Chain A
Amino acid sequence: MQTVQRSPLLPRLLRVRPGGLAPIIALLAVLLILVAVRQSDFFAPPSLMSFLGRSAPIILLAAGQYFVIVSGEFDLSVGALVTAQVVVAARLIDSEPARTWPVVVLLLGFGALVGLVNGVITTRLRVPSFITTLGMLLILLGAVYLWSDGAPKGGLSDEFRRFGRWAFEDVPVLGRVPYALIVLLAFAALAVLVARSDFGRTLIAVGDNPRTAELSGVRVWRHRSIAFVLSGVAAAVAAILIGGYSGVSFQAGAGLEFGAITAVVLGGVALGGGRGSVVGAMLGALTLELLFALMNFYGVSGALRSTVQGAIILLAVAVSAPRSSSR
């Protein structure tokens, strides 16, 4: 009822196409202004670069999560996957520099495999993805706990850690450009290419109305499975950056799945699928990290972060609710 009253009130100018970028860009701009008012030296190249570098993993996870959510599913397993990957990497590398690259390749393969399993179970066995990936979360955490006897073993080599920790020094103007930022830009470009390809457009159609897509000859299960694989690979890359940033720990990926989902809905991607853009999802992640940075500058306890994430998810669902009821 409210929507009926609301829609005519909105000026035509503010109308944007569904899943458009205008709201998230506006929000990002507001946050940037607030940060500039409170802590202008945040925009000095060194601190800005370090902020972008440490935001890289969550932005990558948001990009991966975008493909899954826009196709109408969820991936709750990415946080546990990151933890598992970091612990596995530490044990396999065991501080041996020579093992770095083989393990990196292995992690990417492992991420893709976990995504594939999630996808196939969801689409072929018709288990709701919420349950599939929740199960995967528990399986991964349990397995890694069992395998490592409850405490991480081994260590990551400096060669492995450089991806998440090192930077190109003495770059003109920018000063110090973290490797993580370069990795992020490369994968972000790749994600945009995938999203704009036929596959990416079909994926949105699948999320919007799987039945129509099926009837028009799209293999829905295949598209959705590939979306899960993309999310798994994104988690692998994020794990490499996070392991590099902070070293091995059992908490490496804790809570990242909710961060990624929050970022995606903040970026204007509809929960339930069919609407949104990968750039929006990534900007959503950046906005979320900026919001946390702002909260830090204002001295707000870090404990409030999960509350804010929860509020964003609830608001996003509430805002997109009229659409479902009008169907």
Chain B
Amino acid sequence: MRRTIAALAAVTLLGLAGCATDEPAAGPSGSASAAGSGTGEQSKFFVQADYEAELALLDATATGPADRPWEQVLNPKMVDTAKFKKAGPYKLCFSNAALNNPWRQVGFKTMQAEVEAQGSRIKEFVHVDAEGKDQKQIADINDLLGKGCDALIVSPNTTATLTPAVAAACQSGLPVIVFDRGVDTPCPVTFINPIGGYGFGHVGAEFVSQRMKPGGKLLALRILPGVDVLETRWSAAKVAFDKAKVDVVGVEFTDGDPAKTKKIVNDYIQRHGTIDGVWMDAGAVAVAAVEAFQDAGKPVPPINGEDQLDFLKLWKDKGLTAIAPTYPTYQWRTPIIAALRVLDGQPVSNPWKLPQPTITQENLDSYLDLDMPPLHYAMCGCTDLPGYPQRWK
């Protein structure tokens, strides 16, 4: 009897769920077909001028040695560093936001190797991991100021919260070098990063929308909302999709979880019968998305990933129509090089914009190294460093 009540209750619940579904179902799909695109409102993080500047940088020619992109600069604006000149060897200190994903792991190993390569000039390298916590990183930076560092390298966990701590470090007279994510103060000697999220998102979106059949259905997979570096990628892709009049049937968040990604893609294949293009804001789950098509017995549509080797290998093995914009891990070498130049009193560019290469069908083979582990990033620029390849395995 109670079971019957339970059943009735559950059926009622279902009914409620059914009612609730009607509206959203009519909403997105209805507007999608009307506007020819389901990309929704533009992200709050979108800044038109930055977007245009980044897209212009994609075509800019870099200065510096062509075979060492981590030393190259796009549109250099040199600043004088004579006041920081001092005799070596130096003690370099690094406040790191986190080591909590394969990208940061590969990057940090590359940085350690660069320190080793510069061995004679660096007497000590101090690394503090903030474990993804703003408060810890603020304390870390504060601690490092009392440790007699000759230069401070910061990879901030979040932009706004870390700004005061970085500003305080600048005031102590240390040369401060910021890379990866930025801060809201001009006080660091230089800010090093690749072109950025707009460039990344644009390259992938343009490729996928050009290669898929006209009017085809595109699925956009994002890691999570509200993170500036990822929002810029999506907002640039949105502009490209709107321009190409692609039918974006879904924009879903995967949390970077392959199982969830595979289920989402599988759901969309079942719901729409076929998906003609996949765009992603980060490559970590690209392999899961491809597998979802394979396991469903469907051809893999044009897709973008990133420079993680598991994706590159799959791309090569299965002959995918793919592209891999990158956010190169070689940028972890640059802060060490920059710190040494600053301490030498040599001018450096601020901002130090690094080139952001794209892996395409044409150059795929040169980046695919089957001896490296699946989660390794091909764009590490680390093959000439001490300890390669063992250090990265």
Contacts and interface: CB of A to CB of B under 8 A. Distances in A.
B259 A299 contact: no
A47 interface: yes
A23 interface: yes
A251 B101 CA distance: 13
A302 interface: yes
B262 to A, nearest CB: 5
Contacts of B1: 7, 10, 14-16
Given A95-B374, A151-B99, A155-B374, A312 B13 contact: yes
Interface in A290-304: 291, 293, 295-302, 304
A139 to B, nearest CB: 18
A268 B3 contact: yes
A50 B374 contact: no
Interface in B121-167: 131
Interface string A288-327: 0001010111111110100010011001101110110000
B375 A152 contact: yes
Contacts of B22: 298
Contact of A151 (B101, B257, B263, B266): B101
Interface of B is mostly: helix
Contacts of A298: 18, 21-22, 25
Contacts of A318: 9
Given A47-B270, A300-B24, A268 B6 contact: yes
Contact of B10 (A7, A50, A151, A315): A315
A18 B3 contact: yes
Given A20-B3, A46-B297, A300-B25, A295 B17 contact: yes
Nearest to A14: B4
A291 B14 contact: yes
Interface string A231-251: 000000000001001111101
The size bracket of the interface on B is 35 or more
B386 interface: no
A26 interface: yes
B136 to A, nearest CB: 14
B259 A249 contact: yes
B373 interface: yes
B7 interface: yes
A23 B256 CA distance: 37
B3 A54 contact: no
B270 A296 contact: yes
A319 B375 contact: no
B98 interface: yes
A7 B255 CA distance: 47
A266 to B, nearest CB: 7
A150 interface: yes
Given A50-B266, A247-B288, A316 B102 contact: no
Interface of A: 6-7, 10, 14-16, 18-20, 22-24, 26-27, 30-31, 34, 39, 42, 46-47, 50, 54, 95, 149-155, 165, 176, 242, 245-249, 251-252, 254, 266, 268, 291, 293, 295-302, 304, 308, 311-312, 315-316, 318-320, 322-323
Interface of B: 1-7, 9-11, 13-14, 17-18, 20-22, 24-25, 28-29, 98-102, 104-105, 131, 252, 255-264, 266-267, 270-271, 287-288, 291, 295-297, 310, 373-375
